[in-house]
Amino acid sequence: MKPYSAYLFDLDGTLLDSTDLIVETFRHSLKAVANLEVDAELVRRHIGIPLKDQYPIYLQGRPMALPMEETLQLHMDYQLTIWRDYLKLFPEVGETLAALKAKGAKLAVVTSRRIASAELYTRGVGIWPYFDFFITPESTPKHKPDPGPALEALRRLGVPAERALFIGDATFDMQCGAGAGCDTCYVSWGHVPPHEVTPKPTWVLSRFSELLVSP
C-alpha cells in the first residue's frame, strides 16, 4: 500500500459496521408500508446506493401505504430509535483514521447516507472530527456509482485524483472512485468476494490498519 494525499471513505460497511442496523430498519419499514417481508441478503447486496433508490428494488411495483418521502421519514425515524443497539466501528478504524490525520492526509466521507444521520452516527462513535468534508446525497445531483460524489470530494479537498484513494465495501464504491480517476481499495469484509468486484480494485484490505503500510 503506497501513501496518498487524500483518502475518500464510504461509510456504511466500510467504517461503520451498520449492516444489521440497515437490515432491521428495512424489515420494519417495508412491513409497515407494504406488508412485505424482505430477504436480508437482498438488502445487504444493495447497501451503498441512496435510500430512495433501494425501495423500488424491494417493492417491485408493490403499492405502499405512504408516499415515498413519508416512507423515507418513517424509515429514518425508526432507525434513530435503534442505532445505539446495532452500530459499531469495524476494528482498527478509529486508530487508523487518527494516524492518517496525524500524517497530514486529507480525509473525506463519500456516502449515500444523508448528512443528518451520517453526522449523528460518526459523532456517536467518535470519528467525526477526523474528516475534512462529508459528501452525501445532498451534496451532488448524481450519486454512486456515478463518479460525481468522488469528484466533488476531490474538488473540496483540493487534491488531484491521482493522489487520492477511494475506500469502500461495494461495487458502487469501486465504480465511483475509478470513474473519478482515483485508485480504489476494497475492504475484504464487504458482502461481495474481492475477486468478484468490478472494476478490479487497486488494493484489497484485510485489516484497516493496512492503509498505514507503505513500501
> 139 phi and psi, to 5 degrees?
-85, -30
Here the contacts of 20-24 (C-beta below 8 Å, separation 24 or greater) are 20/86, 21/79, 21/82, 21/83, 21/86, 21/87, 22/47, 22/79, 24/82, 24/86
DSSP bridge pairs for 183: 165
- What radius of gyration do the chain's Cα atoms show? 17
Tallying the residues shown for the chain, one arrives at: 215
Look up 10 and say whether it is catalytic: yes
Q: Name the residues annotated as catalytic.
A: 10
